[in-house]
Amino acid sequence: AQSVTQLDSQVPVFEEAPVELRCNYSSSVSVYLFWYVQYPNQGLQLLLKYLSGSTLVESINGFEAEFNKSQTSFHLRKPSVHISDTAEYFCAASRQGGSEKLVFGKGTKLTVNP
């Protein structure tokens, strides 16, 4: 069975500081990996995904994540955060060749302070 672990439930940072949100997965088979962002009272929006190929994937708003197979990790990073990045971030995995369901971590609340 798959599982996704987000090690930090809350991450407070100051504006313009770098941030890393950690995600580890456990699976006996190959997986696809995703990061979603959720703003209050809204649904989830896809931030970026890893399917295959280059292990470093980037989003349009400055976030990036690196797939590390040996460490079974998919950490999310941003070199300089903005107040508007305050949200909850979810890491998710989907088994390759499976039923397409997403297995989510418990989420990390990122709070960017001025």
Given 19, 23, 74, 105, the residue binding another protein (CB under 8 A): 105
Contact 25, 4 (CB under 8 A): yes
Q: In angstroms, what is the minimal distance from the CB of 14 to another protein?
A: 25
Binders in 62-81 for another protein, by CB under 8 A: none
Total number of residues shown for the chain: 114
Residue 85 DSSP SS3:
helix
Using CB under 8 A as the binding rule, whether residue 104 contacts another protein is answered as yes
Q: Using DSSP bridges, classify how beta strands 31-38 and 24-26 pair: parallel, antiparallel or unpaired.
A: unpaired
Cβ distance to another protein smaller for residue 34 or 78? 34
Count Cβ atoms below 10 Å from residue 1 Cβ, excluding itself: 7
Binders in 18-37 for another protein, by CB under 8 A: 32, 34, 36
Cβ distance to another protein smaller for residue 49 or 77? 49
How many CA atoms lie within 13 Å of 102's alpha carbon, on the beta-carbon side? 13
Residues that bind another protein (CB under 8 A): 4, 6, 9, 32, 34, 36, 41-46, 49, 51, 90, 92, 94, 99-107
